[in-house]
Amino acid sequence: MTDLKRRGLVAALGAAPFAVPLLTRAQELESKPRFKQISSRERTRQRYFPNLVLTSHEGKKVKFYDDLVKDKIVIFNMMYAKCEGICTPITRNLVRLQKVLGNRVGKDIFMYSFTLKPKEDSVSALKHYAHMHKVKPGWLFLTGSVDDMELIRRKLGYVDPDPEVDKDVTNHIGVIKYGNEPLERWGGCPGMQSPEWIAETLSWVDWPKKSAARNANGGGR
Amino acid sequence: MAYISKRNRKKERDKQTAANNRRELIAAGFKRRDLLKMGLLTSAGMLIPKKGLSARPLNSTGAFDDDEPDSPNTTPFQELMPRLTVLQPVPALNPAPTIAPNTAAGEARTVAHQAFAQFPPQRFYEMSEEAGTVLMAPAGELPPQTIWGFNGITPGPLFVERYGNLGSPGDGSILLRLRNNLPENNGGFGLPSVTEHLHNGHTPLESDGFPCFFMERGQFYDHHYPNVYAGINSTHPGTGDIKEAMHSLWYHDHRIDHTAENTYKGLAGAYILFNEFDTGDENTGFRLPSFGDGQNPLTSFDIYMIFNDKHFDNETGLLKFDLFNTDGILGDKFLVNGKIQPVLHVSPRRYRFRWLNTGPSRFYQMFLLGPNNSTKPFWQISTDGNLTERPVQVNSSRFSVAERVDVIVDFTNDAGKTFYIENRLEQDDGRGPDGDLFSAGQGDKILKIIVDGPQVPDNSVDPATIPAGTYFYGFPNTNDAPRITRTFRFERGNGQWQINGKLVGACNQAPRFAIKRNTVERWVFQNNSGGWQHPIHMHFEEFQTLSINGNAPKSTGLITKGRKDVFRLEHNMEAKVYLRIRDFVGRFPLHCHNVVHEDHAMMLLGVIDDVGDNKTKP
């Protein structure tokens, strides 16, 4: 491009004092492919929910996205059966939550506990754990290959940026995460929060009709 | 066994390898500076060309880089930095505001206005929280972005308000009606249930934006802002304490558990308060650079700059929010007033810049980079919008999320020169910076400033000529005996945030502590961690720092002396602060303003009443 033409282009573009960057940009735009049109729901699926095959404490093979997450309200937490620290009180708390949520668990709300120690937590170990805590249907304890469980842990953000802290699995069990997959609403809260309050926070991601009815009654305040 | 394609398997493996590489680099003691030298990082906009060298905490140890800051390229310094649109009052509100919540008409407020009769609103505003479409980068470089904004823009409109005049306090009183017109469809993140906090107005608490006082779609909420100095009903009856004047405030969504995504999506704006000293006119009072109409470059020299960092999806080009991150979120694109790396043209004279960092998690240390990598000093005049004793010449200012810094920059002798606002504070993950600084020109250049405007008169005070001593208000005394000393220890346990070893109180629980109205308290903030930093925010009243790790606060360099509402609690730090809590009652939060930490329970919900309690470790 000659200098004359360049000056003409600059003038046309508003006489900014940045002739060279503008040209570079113009050239870049010519060759740049269009951005992809992908729905946000699909991007969230791609980003966070690899469709891994896991095994539930009932011995059933399930796909992470297709069977566990898609079209559902979900509650996630991390655990392992032999955990002596905070796991047991959180599991007990979630048992109470399951009671508070009533018959919606297994219908449109689903609870998933992912093992942090898939080598230890066989299907039978998880089954034993679930029975011991009197877990009802609609709540699955899940195991899988070491790599797959590690990937799910990271995808769901149960990660500490300090590698040494990250190695200690007890640092990944305090928080529950929840969301409404088709509505694309996600959140998290402490696993030891009161079951009534966890149910209230879940209502914030509930189906629009249900939340509208609740708001008409004054909400949770 | 997994249903992932071969390509994805390979991708995951690549990511693992790359993550290992990064771990090794970190283990070997390399800092970002070294990586820069090695050509693994570029300095402009934190572009990271090598896979897995993540700047984000979620992945620094890990197996995937899906959420690394790998935003599409944008060309810096093409677009003009927008000046904030000034919000205009409306003649009346329909229905008329009421002291009791107007539930029947759809108001979400649950508590009656406590100071409405004392300070009847003189002006009315109405804003709608709604979706809008904006361009954040030069046209064609990023697709139009759907944001949520006050009146559909981000940053939201600028409030330009005045304290009530002495003698007739309350004539600065305003009422803001906010309507929730957000859509059900959030485009991937955001909760269309909101509460708006005026940070950090001395506001009756039912209007303050308490995190649990949220409104749903279709509802409205009336906020009454008396714009009075603290002390008006207590220590300084009828006038308030002029030394409690605040000048640079901001407003933002404060929805419990969902503040990070909602503010990131655009729900934030700025709020200026003038009075008879800080007048907005450089011919009167403290003679700070004139505000003018806020738009005309020939008459408006007082410019609010809202900084934030964002991340865009590399495939769709759309704004991206890391849904499951609990540590802190860093973006690789730096915005000023809604545009990525814009340009500001100025005249050769003095300017007042009001700097605000809206997060979500990044800390800044801003320098003015001049020709040949020189560093231009400037005058800091506020901490969190509260005037210091006098202008202090500094080379840089550091501010974490929600902190504000007002500065005066003197371009009088700089005609024809170009400067950059440059962030030299190194920060590789959401936990906080490690305190290391890049050398001049190696940081992130956020705003280009070209001194090519016309010669215009400058009647503003030249800070270099101000005689020794206090020039502004000075500070309220810290001699009154505190009623109680309370300690707040900020820490992490089982992967979640805690204060004094306990989780956040839920909205339905009793307040964690009660402050007796019109008393003085001394608070001790503790951070025992060498890994995390927390910007700790108290609503409602400003505090003064008494000591940091046993040392007196500093009034030079990185200034820590002064009135503030966000305490930057750095590694292994203990700080003592002093505050009066006056005039109004109600519920308030004390929380970390790394909004990702805040949303994950790093928040205490307290109450101000006429009884108080004696909990020393709430």
Strands B159-162 and B268-274: parallel
| Residues of chain B above pLDDT 70, percent | 88
User: CA torsion angle for A158, A159, A165, A167 (degrees, to 10)?
Assistant: 80
Residue B9 has what pLDDT?
46
Residues A28 and A61 in one domain: no
Note down the domain range covering A1.
1-32
B121: number of CA atoms within 13 Å, CB side? 23
Residues A53 and A27 in one domain: no
* Helix, coil or strand: residue B1: coil
First to last CA, chain B: 49
Q: Is residue A18 part of a domain?
A: yes
Topology classification of domain B75-473: Immunoglobulin-like (2.60.40)
Q: Is residue A136 part of a domain?
A: yes
Residues A102 and A177 in one domain: yes
Residues A24 and A112 in one domain: no
Lowest mean pLDDT, pick from B72-76, B160-164, B238-242, B489-493: B489-493
Q: Which residues are registered as beta bridge partners of B175?
A: B124, B224
Residue A86 has what pLDDT?
83
Q: What is the pLDDT of residues B234-291, one digit of tens each?
A: 999 999 999 999 999 999 999 999 999 999 999 999 999 999 999 999 999 999 999 9
Residues A169 and A190 in one domain: yes
Question: In the structure, what pLDDT confidence band is assigned to residue B610 with cuts at 50, 70 and 90?
Answer: very high
Residue B46 has what pLDDT?
34
Q: Are B325 and B389 in contact (CB under 8 A)?
A: no
**Contact check, Cβ <8 Å, B77/A18:** yes
Q: What is the pLDDT of residues B353-392, one digit of tens each?
A: 999 999 999 999 999 999 999 999 999 999 999 999 999 9
ipTM: 0.87
The average pLDDT across B390-410 equals 98
Residue B29 has what pLDDT?
52
- Least CA distance to B185: which residue of chain A? A183
To probe the interface with A, which of B10, B23, B60, B61 has the most A CB atoms within 10 Å? Answer: B61
B94, pLDDT greater than 90: yes
Which tokens hold the place of B279? 């007048």
B471 and chain A: CB distance < 8 Å anywhere?
no
Give start-end residues of each CATH 2.60.40.420 domain in chain B: 75-473, 484-609
Q: Is residue A220 part of a domain?
A: no
- Least CA distance to A189: which residue of chain B? B600
Residue A34 has what pLDDT?
76
Measured between alpha carbons, how far is B536 from B598 in angstroms, rounded to an integer? 10
Q: Is residue A71 part of a domain?
A: yes
Residue with tokens 């700089």: B414
B37, pLDDT greater than 50: no
Question: In the structure, what pLDDT confidence band is assigned to residue B396 with cuts at 50, 70 and 90?
Answer: very high
Chain B nearest-CA distance from A162, in A, is: 7
* Amino acid identity, position A55: T
Residue B506 has what pLDDT?
85
Q: Tell me the CATH number at A145.
A: 3.40.30.10
Residue B161 has what pLDDT?
96
Contacts A189 to B, Cβ<8 Å: 257, 600-601
Residue B485 has what pLDDT?
98
**Contact check, Cβ <8 Å, B257/A201:** yes
Residue with tokens 């992490």: B492
Contacts B1 to A, Cβ<8 Å: 53, 145
Residues A49 and A154 in one domain: yes
What is the average pLDDT value for chain B, to the nearest integer? 90
Residue B24 has what pLDDT?
54
The average pLDDT across B460-464 equals 98
* DSSP per-residue letters across A143-199: E--HHHHHHHHHHTT---SSHHHHH-GGGGSSEEEEEETTTTEEEEEETTS-HHHHH
B42, pLDDT greater than 90: no
Residues A15 and A47 in one domain: no
Q: What is the pLDDT along chain A (221 residues), one digit of tens a residue?
A: 334 343 333 333 333 333 344 445 545 554 456 799 999 999 999 999 999 999 999 999 999 999 999 999 999 999 999 987 888 999 999 999 999 999 999 999 999 999 999 999 999 999 999 999 999 999 999 999 999 999 999 999 998 888 888 899 988 998 999 999 999 999 999 999 999 999 999 999 999 876 665 555 444 44
Question: In the structure, what pLDDT confidence band is assigned to residue B20 with cuts at 50, 70 and 90?
Answer: low
Contacts B65 to A, Cβ<8 Å: none
Residue B326 has what pLDDT?
87
Q: Are B421 and B378 in contact (CB under 8 A)?
A: no
Measured between alpha carbons, how far is A142 from A149 in angstroms, rounded to an integer? 9
- Least CA distance to A152: which residue of chain B? B63
**Contact check, Cβ <8 Å, B257/A145:** no
Number of domains in chain A: 2
Residues A28 and A52 in one domain: no
Q: What is the pLDDT of residues B533-579, one digit of tens each?
A: 999 999 999 999 999 999 999 999 999 999 999 999 999 999 999 99
B319, pLDDT greater than 80: yes
Topology classification of domain B484-609: Immunoglobulin-like (2.60.40)
Minimal Cβ distance to A220: which of B315, B431, B507: B507
Lowest mean pLDDT, pick from A103-107, B16-20, B183-187, B491-495: B16-20
**Contact check, Cβ <8 Å, A25/B450:** no
**Contact check, Cβ <8 Å, A35/B72:** yes
Residue B497 has what pLDDT?
83
Chain B nearest-CA distance from A39, in A, is: 8
Residues A79 and A25 in one domain: no
- Least CA distance to B492: which residue of chain A? A171
**Contact check, Cβ <8 Å, A174/B495:** yes
Residues A27 and A66 in one domain: no
Measured between alpha carbons, how far is A200 from A76 in angstroms, rounded to an integer? 16
To probe the interface with A, which of B323, B445, B602 has the most A CB atoms within 10 Å? Answer: B323
Residues A25 and A50 in one domain: no
To probe the interface with B, which of A23, A67, A158, A160 has the most B CB atoms within 10 Å? Answer: A160
Q: Are B45 and B446 in contact (CB under 8 A)?
A: no
Residues A9 and A80 in one domain: no
Residue B193 has what pLDDT?
98
B219 and chain A: CB distance < 8 Å anywhere?
yes
Residue B169 has what pLDDT?
60
Under DSSP, the state recorded for A123 is H
Q: Are B175 and B161 in contact (CB under 8 A)?
A: no
The average pLDDT across B103-111 equals 98
C-alpha closest to that of B83 among B304, B405, B240:
B304
Minimal Cβ distance to A175: which of B59, B63, B600: B600
Q: Is residue A112 part of a domain?
A: yes
